[in-house]
Structure 1
Amino acid sequence: MQRESKTINFQGQNIYTGIDVHLKSWKVTVMIENVIYKTFSQDPDSRILANYLRKNFPGGQYYSAYEAGFCGYSVHRELVKQGIRNIVVNPSDIPTTDKEKKQKDDKRDSLKIAKSLKSGELEGIYVPSKGIEELRGLVRYRKTLVKEISRNKTRIKSFLHCNGIVIPSELNFASRYWSGKFTLWLKTIEMTTPYGDMVLQETLDTTDFLRKKLLKVTRSLRLLNTGNEYSAQLKLLQSIPGVGLIMAVTLLSELEDFRRFRKLDQLCSYVGLVPRTNSSGEKEKTGGITPRSNKPLRSCIVESAWIASRTDPALILCFNQLCQRMKPTEAIIRIAKKLLNRIRYVINNETEYVQAVV
C-alpha cells in the first residue's frame, strides 16, 4: 500500500521575526501568529535566516524587524533582497516594561521585537537611498573635521596660555578667525625646550592637515551645484535667507524626500523643534525642546535661523516681536520653525523663495 505524502505549506500565514543585531551574531525569535516558535543564535548573514524560514515555513509571508544601530541600513537591504519584508525601528519606539529594562538580554530583546511586530505596534523609520546615505556620510564627515579643527585650535591656544605666551594685541582679532598672519606668528614661536617645540609644531601640523582635508571635502560638495541630480533642489534651497550650500546639502542628505512629512508638525517633530510635554489630569507641563531629534539637522536649522533673523525682513520683524516676551534663545526656536516651513514650501512647490512673505 502506497503511503500518502503531505507537503507542509504555510501559504497565507504570516511569519514574524525579531532580530537583535550584533557584530558577530544575531539573536532571532520566530513567531507564527500567536505561537512563539523558536529563539536561536545565528551568524550575521541574512541568507542564513532566509534559508531557515524557507525551509521550515515554505510559502509563508516573512516579516522581520531590528533596531537601528551600528549596522545602519545594510542589513535591511540584504533582508529585503532575500524576500523578507523588513523594517528598521527606532529603539525608543519599542514597547518596553520596567522589568525588561532591568533584566535586559539578547533573547528578551529579540522576543520583544517579534511580539511588537506581530501586534502591529512597530513603525519603521525612513530608509534613504544608497546614494543619499553615502552623501549623508560625507556631510557628517565634514562636520567631524570642523569639530576636530576647532579642538586643535583650542589646544594650541591653551598651550600658549599655560606657557605664558601672550598673543600680540594686533593679532587678537586675527586669532579669533585663525588668519594667515596668526598662523605665521605661531610658527615663529620658540619654546625653551625641544619638547615644547614638538608639541606646538605637531599640533599645528595636525591642524593644517585637517584644514586641507576640510577644503577637499568642501570642494567636492560644491560640485553638487553644477550639473548634478541634486542641483535643482540645492538651487531652490539656497534661495532662502540663511540657507547656504552646506545647510542645503545637509537638508537634502538628512531628509531626502520632503513629501513624506504630510504636515509641518511632523517635520518639526523629526528635526526636534517641538517642546517636551508632561500632562496628567488637570496638570500640564511644557518644557524646552525635546531631546529626541535629528541632531545634525537641528543644529544646522537653528544656526541658519540666527542668520535668517538678521537678513530676512519678515523674520527680523517676527524675531523682534518675540524677543519682547521671551528670551532670544527661545525666540530663535520659533524662527527655526518658520524657516523650516519656508524650506518645506519651496521644495514641495518647486519654486524659489520670495522675501517679505510672513
Structure 2
Amino acid sequence: MTHPTLFVGIDVAKTKFDVALLNAEGKYRSKVFPNTPVGHQQFLEWLTRHDAQEAHLCMETTGVYGRDLARFLAQQQILISVVNPAQIHAFGKTELTRAKMDKADARLIARYCRMHRPAPWVPPAEEIATLQALVQRLEDLLALQTMENNRLEAATGPARESVEAVLQFVHQQIEMLRLQIEIHIDKHPDLKNQQELLSSIPGIGDNTAATLLAFLSPLERFHSAKQVVAYAGLNPRIRQSGQWAGKTPIAKAGNALLRKSLYLPAVVAKRHNPIIASFCDRLLARGKRPMQVVVAAMRKLLHLAFGVLKSGKPFNPKLGVA
C-alpha cells in the first residue's frame, strides 16, 4: 500500500457513485454502484475481482453523500483519500478538461490521485462523528424553520394553521437537538474542555464552538491556521494578471457549514472582541468595504480558535492568541 500502482477515482452522488480503476498501462475499468450499504459491499467485491484491494482510492468531499462510503472503505483497511473538490477542479483545468460527466469525473479523480498521491483519510472518532451528525441535523432544522417562517408571511386560514403547527414542532426539535449536543459534549471531557477554550473567545458561543469542534477535528491534520482558513473556504481568491487586479472574493471551496457558522460570531466579535475590533478598525481606516471587514473578522476568529485549541490555553486579549 506504500507504492500502489492502481488508482481508483470515485465520483459520489446522492443515489449512486461512479468509479474508474486506472491501471499501470493507463487503461480504465469503469463501473456504477448504488450509494447504499449493499452498493458499498458490491464495490468491495469488484475491487477484489480486479486485484485492486491495495489500490489508492480517492474521492471528493461531498458532505453526507460520501461519508458512509469513505468510512466503510477505511474500515476495510482500504487506502482512501478524501480531497477538496477545488483541488480536482484546478487539476482538471491543467488538463484542459471539457467533459463534465460522472464517468469522466471519476477518471479525472483517478488521474489526480496517481499524480498527487494525497494523504490517507482518517475516519473521525466516534464521538466526533456523532457530534457532526447532530450539528448537521440542527442546521437542517434551522433551514427548515427559516423556510416555514417565510411561508408564514403569506399563509392565511387553514394553511397558516398548518405552517404554525410545523413551526412549533420544528422549534421543539431544535431545542431538543441543542440539548442533545450539550449533553454529548458534557459526556466527553476532551470535547468539554475544548468547548470551554473556544467559548473563552469573545464572539464564539457554545453553538458555534460545537460546530468548530465537529468539523475541525482532528486538529492534528492542520499544520497552520492558514490551512484551517482554506478548509473553511475563507481564503482569498487572487485575481491578477500583469498590472490588472480584479476583486478578491473568498474561495468558498471548503466546508460551507463551518463558514456559515462564523458569520454572526464575526459580527459580534467586531464589537466585543478587543483583538478583532482593533483589527477591523484598521481595515475600515484603509478603506475596506464592510463585508470585506466581516470576512476578515471570520478569518481572524478561525486563527484565534486554532490558537487556543493548539495551545490548550484560553483566549488572552493581551497576547492576541494563547
Q: How does the TM-score come out when normalised to structure 2?
A: 0.82
TM-superposed CA distance for 1:98, in Å, is 9.7
Partner residue in 2 for 1:345: 307
User: Which moves more between the two structures, 106-115 or 124-133?
Assistant: 124-133
Residues 56 and 80 in structure 2, CA contact (< 8 A), matched pair in contact too: yes
- Structure 2 Cα separation of the partners of residues 336 and 41 of structure 1: 40
Q: How does 1:136-175 map to 2 (within 5 A)?
A: 136-159=132-155
> Is the contact between residue 132 and residue 253 of structure 1 (CA under 8 Å) also seen in structure 2?
yes
- Partners of 1:344 and 1:228 in 2: how far apart? 20
Give secondary structure in 2 for the equivalent of 1:18: strand
Shift of 1:63: 1.8
How far apart in 1 are the matches of 2:261 and 2:4? 46
Offset of residue 238 of structure 1? 1.0
How has the CA–CA distance of structure 1 residues 52 and 333 changed in structure 2, closer, same or farther, with 3 Å as cutoff?
A: closer
- Counterpart of 2:56 in structure 1 is 63
Counterparts of 1:24 and 1:62 in 2: how far apart (Å)?
Answer: 24
Alpha-carbon distance between aligned partners in 2 of 1:48 and 1:225, rounded to the nearest angstrom: 36
Cα distance in 2, alignment partners of residues 42 and 143 from structure 1? 29
Counterpart Cα distance in 2 of 1:31 and 1:294 = 29
**Structure 1 segment 98-247 matched on structure 2, within 5 A:** 102-120=98-116, 127-159=123-155, 196-229=156-189, 230-247=191-208
Q: Which amino acid aligns with 2:115?
A: S
CA change 1:246–1:15 in 2 (3 A) is same
Q: Which has the larger radius of gyration?
A: 1
**Relative to structure 1, is the Cα distance of residues 341 and 92 closer, same or farther in structure 2, using a 3 angstrom cutoff?**
closer
State yes or no: 1:273 paired with 2:264: no
- One-letter amino acid of the counterpart of residue 164, structure 2: L
Structure 1 residues 77 and 30, CA, compared in 2 at 3 Å: closer, same or farther?
A: same
Q: Distance in 2 between matches of 1:37 and 1:333?
A: 43
> 1: CA distance between counterparts of 2:12 and 2:145?
34
CA contact (8 A) 1:100 1:108 kept: no
Higher relative contact order (CA 8 A, sep 6+): 2
Of the structure 1 ranges 41-50 and 69-78, higher mean CA displacement relative to structure 2 is found in: 41-50
For residues 221-261 of structure 1, give each alpha carbon's deviation from its aligned partner in whole angstroms, at most 9, with x where no partner exists: 22245342411111111111111110100100011122322
Deviation larger for 238-247 or 221-230: 221-230
TM-score (norm 1): 0.74
Which amino acid in 2 is paired with 1:314?
I
Distance 2:270 2:105 in 1: 46
1:14 maps to what in 2? 5
SS in 1 for 2:271: helix
Structure 2 partner of 1:38: 29
**Letter in structure 2 aligned against 1:62:** A
- Whichever residue aligns with residue 271 of structure 1, its letter is A
| Alignment CA distance shift 1:65-1:145 (3 Å) | same
Distance 1:12 1:330 in 2: 45
Distance in 2 between the 1:315 and 1:92 partners?
29
